Every structure is written in structure tokens, then in C-alpha cells.
């Protein structure tokens, strides 16, 4: 697989990810949700994530800064891996997986790096505006990641009473809210794990 095609995958994922995020940020109130096609199990639900992927968070201001810096360090390393894989004629599936992971990493880096500068706050009563005159809501590296994809396949179900600790408690499956960049990363990692023997073939001798 050529480097041109690999970068095309990265660019396409980034374009879709950022277009969706900017639209949600500038058209939805924080916490606003809509059902897609009227399906309760597929919702666009706008939240802002101050931490890692899939809604996970790191505590404190320094935790957020550390995560942003980690993203900035790891993305070039993934990019190097991608270029190296293409030059060494690695399996096509490996190149696709690394391309997806790189696109997802850059997508969330953009949020944390500049969203705090180019947008003002999203609240439950205010939709954010682009390039506000009063300035953004945070310094570079302190922006929040925009999440919006929500698939609550099972809502308000109850664990059986006989289960220890959780018996009788309600739960929702699947409860994470995420974005397209997260999906790209997870898909790429999934390919590496599921098709491990194909993407990392053993060399004879």
C-alpha cells in the first residue's frame, strides 16, 4: 500500500471527525441529545471530555496538560511507524490500522490544542461560537475533546439480585460517549489484535 493512500485515509478520517465536531460544537447545547432515525439506541449526545478517549478523565489541571503533551509526543511516533511500514512493504492491513490510529490521535490532539482558543464555552443554555471576540474558553493544550456518539443499547436495566455488590442496581449498556477519532483508534487497535498473525507475519529463518 502506498504512502499516498495511507495519508488519504488519515486525511479523510480527520476531515469527517473535525467537520462533525465543529458542527456539534456550534449547533448543540452542552448535554443536548437527539435520536438518530428515531432510534433510542443511537443518539447524538453532545458532551465535552476533559481527559482521555471514551469519556475517561485524568484528574486535575496537570493531568489534562500531561495528556495533551503525551498526545503530541505519541502522534509523531505513530506517523514514523506508518511511514516505516509503507517503506518496508508491510501488510496492507497493518498500514490501514496504523493510518486509523494516527488519524484518531491527531483528531483528538486538534481538540485539546486549539478548541479552547477558537471557541467560547458550550453550556446548557449557550451554543458555542467560532472565534469569539472575547476570546476562547481555555489556553492551548487545555481544550476539551468534543464527544457525541452514544449507543445505549440497553438502558436502565437491573442486575440480578443474586449478584454480589451490583445486584439490584441499574445499568446502561453501552454507556460511553465518544467521537469518530476514538472509533478510528479503537478500530485500528482492534485490527492489530484480531488479525495479529496477518499484520505481523513471522519471517522464516
- What are the residue numbers of the active site? 147, 182
Separation between Cα atoms, residue 186 and residue 13, nearest integer Å: 13
Q: To the nearest 10°, report the CA torsion of 129, 133, 138, 142.
A: 70
Cβ–Cβ contacts within 10 Å for residue 161, how many? Answer: 9
Residues in a beta bridge with 154? 173
Cell numbers at 124, concatenated: 446548557
For 149-192, give the DSSP string: EE--SEEEEE--TTSTTTTT-EEEES--EE-HHHHHHHHHHHHH
CA dist list (Å): 199 to 3, 4, 85, 88, 92: 17, 20, 10, 13, 8
Amino acid at each position: 500500500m502506498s504512502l499516498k493512500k495511507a495519508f488519504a485515509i488519515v486525511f479523510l478520517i480527520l476531515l469527517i471527525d473535525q467537520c462533525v465536531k465543529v458542527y456539534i460544537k456550534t449547533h448543540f447545547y452542552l448535554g443536548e441529545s437527539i435520536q438518530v432515525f428515531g432510534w433510542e439506541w443511537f443518539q447524538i449526545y453532545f458532551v465535552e471530555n476533559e481527559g482521555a478517549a471514551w469519556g475517561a478523565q485524568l484528574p486535575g489541571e496537570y493531568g489534562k496538560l500531561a495528556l495533551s503533551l503525551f498526545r503530541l509526543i505519541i502522534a509523531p511516533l505513530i506517523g514514523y511507524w506508518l511511514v516505516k511500514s509503507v517503506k518496508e512493504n508491510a501488510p496492507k492491513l497493518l498500514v490501514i490500522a496504523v493510518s486509523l490510529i494516527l488519524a484518531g490521535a491527531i483528531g483528538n490532539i486538534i481538540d485539546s490544542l486549539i478548541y479552547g482558543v477558537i471557541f467560547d464555552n458550550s453550556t446548557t443554555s449557550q451554543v458555542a461560537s467560532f472565534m469569539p471576540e472575547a476570546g476562547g474558553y481555555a489556553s492551548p493544550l487545555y481544550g476539551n475533546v468534543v464527544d457525541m456518539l452514544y449507543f445505549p443499547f440497553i438502558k436502565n436495566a437491573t442486575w440480578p439480585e443474586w449478584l454480589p455488590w451490583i445486584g439490584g442496581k441499574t445499568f446502561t449498556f453501552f454507556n460511553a460517549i465518544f467521537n469518530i477519532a476514538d472509533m478510528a483508534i479503537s478500530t485500528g487497535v482492534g485490527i492489530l489484535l484480531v488479525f495479529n498473525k496477518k499484520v505481523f507475519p513471522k519471517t522464516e529463518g
